[in-house]
Amino acid sequence: MEYIDLRSDTVTKPTPAMREAMANAVVGDDVYGEDPTINRLQELAAGMMGKESGLFVASGTMGNLVGVLAHCQRGDEVIVGNKAHTFLYEAGGISVLGGVHSCQLPNQPDGSLALEDIENAIRPDDPHDPITRLICLENTHNRCGGTFQSPEYIKRVSKFAHARKLFVHLDGARIFNAAAAQQVNARELAATVDSVTFCLSKGLCAPVGSVLCGSKEYIRKALRLRKMVGGGMRQAGILAAAGIVALETMTGRLSEDHARARNLASGLREVPGLVLGQEIPATNMVFLSLDPLVKSKAEEVADNLKEHGILVGVTGARSFRLVLHYWINDIGVDQTITAFRSVLH
């Protein structure tokens, strides 16, 4: 059976144009800095983020790990949201591998960190305390409903941080979704932070890879760290070629996924037994839960939906996340609404 896969935008497959680019990619040894396709990708990515340099890494998790460690020494502390991907889903890498302590602040409903909370979390100059070094933001914010942060908010946090000699790292895994939702250039979202990482996979459809961007000196440090964690790839221009196509052809169409997310939410809102987490999805994610009157659990509903050819993400005992992406069309949206209605009748 061919499924309508809404579990995540990580399930996207490369487009025909990407496969052709991969097949024809000119490659070299990237550890020697001799892969022209990787070099081109890094330059393109840095330019799109408004930064001096870029570094191709295997994943967003590697990008965030290397990104944090390039700012911090062992024993330093990073301020991060308690629902941040870096804190929840990256195996504690910054602490395990980098000796970096984390201070988790409550994320606001829109995924932001309150400036007052950040200020109160900064450590005094006291030998009993770790040294506050870095603030991490996330845009879009996964666990907070695919919400986005505005250029104004990011600029405000950056100005606050820099006045206190702190750095700001942006986990921009889906930064192009955040840009599309606000009809701004991604460069505006990354302009004032010290470093940013974003994924070439997910909504951009490349098969693998992320790029970390920052100053030349910062990326020089990150390159050493990438080697340390085993991320020095050789003829990886085959992968970078797909990333170039992603940046050149896929960033401009993400609003289509957002529109379909709104249509999906609108249809599911009319299905008895479902409760929508947001009135209108912020980007490409739809969060919903089962009405208390529904006796079934989320896993049971998901199993029944699978029999109808629909795959959904289960996020709790009675809740789901559905993510729209390039491979979900209008027909798929309609079929998903019909399947939920059938399963919950």
- Residue 6 placed within a domain: no
**pLDDT at position 345:** 82
Give the whole-angstrom CA distance, residue 3 versus residue 265. 19
CA dihedral 226, 231, 232, 233 (to 10 degrees): -150
Give the whole-angstrom CA distance, residue 136 versus residue 148. 14
Give the whole-angstrom CA distance, residue 187 versus residue 57. 20
Domain count, the chain: 2
* Rg, Å, the chain Cα set: 21
60 and 204 share a domain? yes
Cβ burial 6-20 (10 Å sphere, 16+ → b, else e): bbbbebbebbeebee
The encoded tokens of residue 307 equal 């029999």
The encoded tokens of residue 305 equal 């939906």
Distance, C-alpha 141 to centroid of its chain: 7
Give the whole-angstrom CA distance, residue 110 versus residue 101. 25
Q: What is the crossing angle of helices 298-307 and 330-343, to 10°? A: 120
- Residue 5 placed within a domain: no
198 and 321 share a domain? no
Distance, C-alpha 226 to centroid of its chain: 19
Cβ atoms within 10 Å of 291's Cβ, excluding its own: 12
128 and 225 share a domain? yes
- Residue 283 placed within a domain: yes
**pLDDT at position 122:** 98
Residues in the chain: 345
226 and 274 share a domain? no
Looking at 195, 217, 251, the residue that finishes a domain is 251
20 and 113 share a domain? yes
The encoded tokens of residue 21 equal 């680019």
18 and 46 share a domain? yes
CATH code of the domain covering residue 285: 3.90.1150.10
247 and 294 share a domain? no
Query: Taking the alpha carbons of 256, 262, 263, 264 in that order, is the dihedral positive or negative?
Result: positive
Give the whole-angstrom CA distance, residue 62 versus residue 167. 19
Looking at 227, 251, 275, the residue that finishes a domain is 251
Q: Are 197 and 33 in contact (CB under 8 A)?
A: no
Local mean pLDDT, 10-residue blocks, the chain (345 residues): 95 97 97 96 98 98 98 98 97 97 97 98 96 98 96 98 98 98 98 98 97 98 97 96 98 98 97 94 97 94 97 97 98 98 93
- Residue 8 placed within a domain: no
27 and 119 share a domain? yes
Distance, C-alpha 59 to centroid of its chain: 10
Q: Are 269 and 135 in contact (CB under 8 A)?
A: no
**pLDDT at position 57:** 98
Looking at 251, 283, 308, the residue that finishes a domain is 251
242 and 276 share a domain? no
32 and 172 share a domain? yes
- Residue 2 placed within a domain: no
- Residue 315 placed within a domain: yes
**CA-to-CA separations, 283 to 236, 239, 287, in angstroms, rounded:** 31, 27, 11
17 and 110 share a domain? yes
- Residue 303 placed within a domain: yes
- Residue 63 placed within a domain: yes
216 and 301 share a domain? no
Q: Domain limits at 333?
A: 253-343
CATH code of the domain covering residue 73: 3.40.640.10
